[in-house]
Chain A
Amino acid sequence: MASQAPLRFKGNFFADPEFFRTDVTKGVTKTPTGCRIITLPSEFLIGFRDALIYECGGSYRQIMKSTGRRWGTQFAKRLERELSSFYQTPFKELPEPIIRTCLAEAFRAHGYGHLSFATVLEHAEFVLAEVRNPLLPALIRESDRTSDLLMAGMLGAVLAHLTGKPLDAVQTECPSLGADRSRFLIGPGSVVAELEEWINEASQMPSHKAILRHLAQHNSLSNGSIAETSNTETENLVGAQAQSEEMSP
């Protein structure tokens, strides 16, 4: 996602009173680039999730996440098309601060919540994404596990598409579990898969800090220098975590 392209200031592409324009005679809502937008009400999302649980049992989690991944890829393609045209530069080639800002603006404009990013551990290629006012957790009041599987799949797919790397995301904090926001770790798909497995095997949902600690240990193990670096890595992670919390309003 990083680029040497010059920084541009073109304003918030989505902050237009007529961004979502509805033709009431046709019953169709479109973006300025002609992409059709539909409103999925809360009842649909809850109904969809309940039907999946009823029909598929425990595997509904994989299906929800897979749905999110397909949604995220399509969403990223549309953003890429619209914003490349707006900036007159391929979206992926824009500097990272612009890409992240545009993503957050797109999320807010579409009603997906308030998205922000922070780097967790630079050399581990992990990014922490936070979503305030997320979709599904607002509808699922209580759960013993994180509930925003759609968003986890979506965020992983969006960043994978934009970076061209096989990225995936795992949710580490969720309002359905009492948190004030959703948090996701986005990183290499294979590491995320291992993290998910470790989380699923735990009898209780591990805390965000515990997941970060586990990630740090995994990172040290894969670097083959446990004895020398594991403590430092863990401290770095916790430090980065603290820094991320300081960034929050």
Chain B
Amino acid sequence: MMNTWLTDIIRTTNEALFNEADLTRIMTYYASMPARLKLSEELERLEPTLVKSLQTELSKRYPDRSLYSRRFIQDIVESLRCVNRAVLADDLRLLRYRWIDHVLDVATAANIDLQEIRDAYLSLREILQSSLPRSAWETLEPAYEELLDALTRSPKTLTV
């Protein structure tokens, strides 16, 4: 729950800048901040382990795929920072502009099968589900699913 003093500050300093719906959204956001911050801490702590686990998992499942280089795996795990930032800001547009559109553009320009990138994220999802505390995964899940959904869609036809 949100601190009562913060609730008071928001309500009393709100000089008709926000309507009730805005206020509810703000307070819901602040109420969920501890969970979001906890997720950030967990992801930062887990990052080195995630790289190793994902590398092992991908080489076991897809030994023939040349895309899964050490750097690629590092990039995929580091992309969780973008996902986390979008979760912290409660704004998935950040994830789309910063990460999803870029991946779609590069993959299309390089003729890479998006499914290969998606498979890496699917493997990472399994690792995350078993590594993160349940509440942290639930906080991350909507943004993560948004990312996975985008990788199933047809890439944009106009690319560079």
Contacts and interface: CB of A to CB of B under 8 A. Distances in A.
Contact of A116 (B94, B103, B160): B160
Interface stretch (B7-15, B25-33, B104-112, B133-141): B104-112
Indicate the size class of the contact surface on chain A. Answer: 20 to 34
B102 interface: yes
B97 to A, nearest CB: 4
A98 B71 contact: no
A106 B112 CA distance: 22
Interface string B120-160: 00000000000000000000000000000000000011111
A202 interface: no
Interface stretch (A5-13, A51-59, A77-85, A223-231): A5-13
B98 A15 contact: yes
A248 B156 CA distance: 9
Contacts of A100: 109, 160
A8 B75 contact: yes
A248 B158 CA distance: 5
A97 interface: yes
Contacts of B67: 7
A98 B72 CA distance: 13
Contacts of B106: 7, 9, 97-98, 101
Contacts of A6: 69, 71-72
Interface of A: 6-12, 15-17, 95-98, 100-101, 103-105, 115-117, 246-249
8 contacts: A6-B69, A6-B72, A9-B102, A11-B82, A15-B102, A246-B157, A247-B157, A247-B159
